[in-house]
Copies of this chain bind each other. A is one copy, B any other.
Amino acid sequence: MTSPKDFTALLKPHPNADGAKILADERQRSNVDVQPLSLHLFGQQYLERQQRILAIVQKHRVFSKANQANVSRPDRYKLGLARGKRMRQLMDEHGWDDDDLLMAEYLIDDIQPYHLHMSLFTSAMREQCDDKQRLEWMPKIASWEVVGAYAQTELGHGSNVRALELTATWNNASKTFDLHSPTLTASKWWNGTLGRTATHSVVIAQLLLPEGPNGQLRSHGPHPFIVRVRNEKTHLPPKSIVVGDIGPKYGYAMMDNAYMLFDHHRVPHSALLCRYASIDPVSGIYTKPNNPSSIYGSLVRGRSVIVMNARLILARAVTVAVRYLAIRRQFRDRDAPDSIGQEMCVLDYPTVQIRVLPLLATAFALHYSGAAMKALYERTRSTNALDGDRAQLAELHSTSAGLKSLATELAANGIETCRRAMGGHGYGGGTGLVQLNADYLSKPTVEGDNWMITQQVARSLIKKVGEVVASPDRRIASSTDACLSSFHKSHGRGEDATSILNDNLAIVKAFEHRMAWMAFRAHRLREVEKRSWNSLLIDFHKLSRAYSQCILVTSFYDALKADEVPPGSTHVVLSHLFRLFAFATLDADAREFQQSGAVAASDLDVLQDQILELMGQVRPHAVRLMDAFAIPDYLLDSALGRYDGKVYEQLFYNAHVLNPLNRTTFNPDYRTDEIVMGSGDGGAILAKL
């Protein structure tokens, strides 16, 4: 921070608002071991990578975040392209691997226009190409000679892939496919990297083949094609393709999400990615070999990434909130005898704690669940995996949709909760959360809408209950089986209810009991009472939520029991966090726990007091706990969340030194249209519209 050249250069915050001193004191007051906890959470390799990549990206001006909020959306795309190029150049220069590049993108915190090339396009080509196609394409993809996208979603069709309208009609005479968009709603839509950047795209279209003597067309459903959408030299599309960027959206200003339509655009036989289905180029006969079973658990691995990402997003918001709220002072204690006392630390108000501290606990709960999923996936890849592990994985495979739904909802809502808890400055650019918030709001919708996909969880659990009811003495393969089976044998009473107040295992049992109660209820309504599927969707959503919360609570409990957590005070504080997370979750759905008989009403009645007490126990450690998440200042990009606590200094610097608007003097006289004083620019602003 350079000093301004006026009297403000000498000013400091009020001594009671000296954030640097306050945060130092906060860190002094807690004995949580930050380094071991960091290591426990992330491992040496991750922390080393973060440090190494950070040092490199911070050196390049193109990655400076200082003024990016003042850049127009078209310029943000240009900046994104420039950043994407530089990242790839650095990859060549420093010999980065894929994880290094992902770390750079994470730290720079701008999804780059090349993102889909590196992710979905590459993985689709690797997965869908046959060996010959792979040989042809993968080198070009690795060298970025082609830049690819993945075009599935259409203007009128999202999750229901079978309803896509774009057709690819095989012409056996010309040996080509005719790609055609019959309607406006058949336009591809939302497809990242395709709007302005990509040269190629995987395109999903309904494969139509002439059949029978009259050559009538028959649909074989959606199939993937590789299509060159722009000329290598001019970067312009052919006349038979219309493609462009869909325009500004909530977030992701630097990403060029696309629309794309085809007017009888022809592609060769080799365009069909034919690992799983092919057409004989001579006879025109379609064959679809048996789809090899999908790689066991890859979905679980994918969902664990989403959960682990959600905990990092949430940790960013909580880090900012905890540091700022520890520094901020407001009002004196109403009950304090001396009315001249100092203002209170805002983080000491229960109304602030109740919003922020359970989210701090949630970040840990998400961490342990994501880590458990990942570990489970990795254990089952070894040849001597235990049967129990495999059964757990199979179960998570079908129910992890619920975890995606819950984790992204917790993180998305958590950002906004933290923001509001920060009061006035929470609305300013100094939070560093403006872009994060806008970007992350996509997550509850993409990769399976958070409400829609919970049906998958319900379907799986209803099936399991059916099996338990049909054969109560069947082999128990997973913890959910065990829980449903025990619930069934007890005729829905569950085990003898133990008070949850002083027994962590009883907390886990309570979450299991409520989940089982809801699963049996869903089973009865659907399978016995034969209610319509749609009339039960809300119940299914609640069941999925209960199941997923059960996983979060259980994973947290298991992690504490496994003694992987650093011992001593850190372990004690994490135990408090476990209970805080569980009780806050329980309190929000208290009636479900009461109605299901999972928790005694008398326990529920005192939950609020318990939560208050736990928050008091966690409070002194809040700053250090978030320090352990090791989120660098460069990533936070937050005046309020600076590690060193210089909140007010940075806010003022951003405004007085950085803000470009202050370099212009304006003419406020409404009788003239001049905007910039003395410029005679009346009416010029209209050109921007």
Contacts and interface: CB of A to CB of B under 8 A. Distances in A.
Contact of A244 (B68, B89, B662): B662
Contacts of A660: 74
A64 B687 CA distance: 12
Which of A61, A248, A441, A673 has the most chain B CB within a 10 Å cutoff? A248
A354 B434 contact: no
Contacts of A344: 534
A542 to B, nearest CB: 9
A303 to B, nearest CB: 20
B334 A533 contact: yes
A689 interface: yes
A637 to B, nearest CB: 12
Interface string A638-662: 0000000000110110111011111
Interface string A185-202: 111011000011111000
A350 B538 CA distance: 7
Nearest to A153: B424
B661 A183 contact: no
20 contacts: A6-B239, A11-B184, A13-B156, A70-B247, A72-B75, A74-B664, A75-B688, A81-B675, A85-B672, A113-B668, A114-B670, A144-B669, A185-B648, A189-B424, A246-B655, A250-B427, A344-B534, A420-B445, A424-B445, A595-B604
Given A11-B187, A12-B183, A250-B428, 5 more contacts: A85-B672, A114-B670, A159-B330, A333-B534, A538-B612
Nearest to A594: B591
A416 B419 CA distance: 15
A110 to B, nearest CB: 12
Interface in A531-570: 532-535, 537-539, 541
A150 to B, nearest CB: 15
By size class, the interface of chain A is: 35 or more
Contacts of A190: 424, 428
Closest 5 CB pairs between A and B? A72-B72, A244-B662, A69-B248, A247-B659, A7-B263
Nearest to A655: B246
Interface in A325-384: 329-331, 333-335, 343-344, 348-352, 354-355
A533 B352 CA distance: 14
A437 to B, nearest CB: 8
Contacts of A689: 61-62, 64, 66-68, 71, 79
A677 B235 contact: yes
Given A11-B184, A652-B184, A656-B242, A354 B235 contact: no
Interface stretch (A120-128, A447-455, A624-632): A447-455
A11 B351 contact: no
A155 B652 contact: yes
A608 interface: yes
A261 interface: yes
A293 interface: no
A537 B14 contact: no
